[in-house]
Amino acid sequence: MARRKQAVTIKHVAAEAGVSLQTVSRVINNEASVRPEMKVRVQSAIDKLGYVPSIAAQRMSGSRSYIILALNDRDRTIADWRARQGTDWVDQMLLGGMLSCAENGYRLIIELVDTHNDHVERELAAAIAALQPDGVILTPPHSDNPLITGLLAKRQIPFARIGSRSTGDGIALTMDDEGAAQQATQHLLALGHRSIGFIAGPADYQLSGWRGHGRSRDEHGRPACHG
């Protein structure tokens, strides 16, 4: 199997438009300092060639990875899957988060993690090292796992905690509706557009209790989302 290279690269676009790689890059990243006419010229070249930047390359050059990591409890996920009753996690959160990501040019990658295992940190660290996500989303029972939130905080990776009310690092939001994940993702995206984490998990932990309160607010009377 031949080594697969990118079909059309930024280089081709630059040649086609008769500008430097940098200018193309600037257009891609929608930077201000580009003359409108240049922008148009480059853009048309991009369209003509059907160019799409490689996220791997983008990430390699120190830019964003355009990847959001979502952590989900493994055992539970597998059990649900076997029982074919996994109407839980995916439909409520992952899909919502996925849609938000897609709308923003991001990709959501779901990672299954063993909670009741002291490997959690290692697993998380490995996933982060491999994927280098711009953000992470946590779901129960990971949302309040200090080992996880601590690691994320230390690495300065933006993350959201779904189904958690406790204050602390990261954005905490209760699942007051099916839009929670979407909300979470967008918050992360809005934050710094970098390192967003998402740990998705079954909603029958602390979460379930709050659910009875319906669309209630948090203890401060504000919508269920703390900064």
d(CA 191, CA 92): 22
Of 74 and 107, which has the nearer Cβ to DNA? Answer: 107
For position 70 contacting a second copy by CB under 8 A, the verdict is no
For position 178 contacting a second copy by CB under 8 A, the verdict is yes
For position 190 contacting a second copy by CB under 8 A, the verdict is no
For 166: left if phi > 0, alpha if psi spans -120 to 50, otherwise beta; the answer is beta
How many Cβ atoms from other residues are within 10 Å of residue 34's Cβ?
Answer: 18
Considering only 35, 36, 84, 209, the residue that binds a second copy (CB under 8 A) is 84
- In 124-212, where do the E strands start and end? 135-138, 159-162, 171-173, 196-198
**Contacted entry of DNA, a second copy, none for residue 104, CB cut-off 5 to 8 Å set by kind:** none
Q: How far is the CB of 124 from DNA (least distance, A)?
A: 17
Binding site for DNA (CB under 7 A): 3, 5-6, 9-11, 19-26, 28-29, 32-35, 38, 51, 53-54, 57-58, 60-63
Of 34 and 70, which has the nearer Cβ to a second copy? Answer: 70
Please enumerate in sequence order all residues whose Cβ is within 8 A of that of 66, keeping only pairs 6 or more positions apart, or say none.
Answer: 55, 58, 59, 105, 106, 107, 134
- Side chain identity, residue 172: A
Q: What are phi and psi of 71, to 5 degrees?
A: -100, 130
Decide: 34 and 26 in contact? Cβ < 8 Å.
yes
- Residues at the site binding a second copy, with contacts judged by CB under 8 A: 1-8, 50-57, 59-60, 62, 65-66, 77-78, 80-81, 84-87, 90-92, 94-96, 98-99, 102, 107-112, 122, 125-126, 129-132, 156, 178, 192, 194-195
